[in-house]
Amino acid sequence: MRVSNTFKQGIRDKRIQFGLWSNLASNYSTEVIAGAGYDWIVIDTEHSPTDLETVLGNLQAIAAYPTAGVVRVPWNDTVTIKRYLDVGAQSLIIPYVQTSDEAAAAVANVRYPPSGVRGVALTTRATRFGRVPDYVRHASDEIAVIVQIENELGLGNLEAIAAVDGVDGLFIGPADLHASLGYPGEIGHPKILSLIDEAVGRITRAGKAAGVFAPVEEHARRWIGMGASIVALGSDIGILARGAEALLIRFRDAKPS
């Protein structure tokens, strides 16, 4: 009973995969968007109230659909990553990776000894409660490691990070990149957009999947054209908030007949 990872297979096949961020911390709302047809959905634990048990419920909700569940962990932490893997996460986005050493630590966190430091437990949800033969030997084959580049140091070390064995993709975080380079609160400054353009090209030339959060359609199409293949088109909170506002505006601005 090998548990394949469609998200990682898409990276291997160099397919463009469209995703959506989930920050609402609800397995019910995640199931709603899981049926929309996205290739992957990020369960975010860095900037949301989502905890380990909520991640488990979200992964169970997504499992009924042909959509891959991806978990953004709160930090590149051995214990935290181990727990998310044990409840069945197969694809991780690891924030704020700045150096090749940090990238190597992220890879070690998802691998069992002797090639890593992941603690061994044989009857977890990840192993289908002991029903996956030789899970410990083959688990890393189906675990995708995506490291997030969010500041100038990470950009400067991009090729070295991409060269780390076991890193499947590098994901650009535009909001943090803007803030770290002196443009907090912006997501479309021309100077930073140009740096993201360059980063997407550098990642693809290094042979790794380039990812980016791109809720602005113009930006998404721009980076897809440059080779980005892991593209988040928005978030559940953004869709709910802006959609609710737009619906009300249509009526408040309407003239009486």
To the query of whether residue 47 is one of the catalytic residues in this protein, the response is yes
75 forms beta bridges with: none
Secondary structure element (H or E) that encloses residue 71, with its range: strand 68-72
* Rounded percentage of the chain residues whose pLDDT exceeds 70: 98
pLDDT tens-digit map of 21-63: 999 999 999 999 999 999 999 999 999 999 999 999 999 999 9
Residue 216 in any domain: the answer is yes
Residue 190 in any domain: the answer is yes
Query: For position 137, what pLDDT does the model report?
Result: 95
Query: For position 108, what pLDDT does the model report?
Result: 98
pLDDT tens-digit map of 126-166: 999 999 999 999 999 999 999 999 999 999 999 999 999 99
Residue from 47, 138, 189, 219 carrying the catalytic annotation = 47
Domain count, the chain: 1
Residue 1 in any domain: the answer is no
CATH number, position 55: 3.20.20.60
20 forms beta bridges with: 41
- Parent domain of 157: 6-252
- Asked if residue 158 lies in contact with residue 203, where contact means CB atoms within 8 angstroms, the answer is yes
Query: For position 254, what pLDDT does the model report?
Result: 77
pLDDT band per the 50, 70, 90 thresholds, residue 257: low
Does the pLDDT value for residue 253 go beyond 90? no
Query: For position 70, what pLDDT does the model report?
Result: 98
* Total H helices, total E strands in the chain: 12, 8
Residue 257 in any domain: the answer is no
Q: At a CB cut-off of 8 Å and minimum separation 6, what does 171 contact?
A: 93, 146, 147, 148, 149, 210, 211, 212, 213, 230
Does the pLDDT value for residue 1 go beyond 70? no
pLDDT tens-digit map of 53-105: 999 999 999 999 999 999 999 999 999 999 999 999 999 999 999 999 999 99
* Rounded percentage of the chain residues whose pLDDT exceeds 90: 97
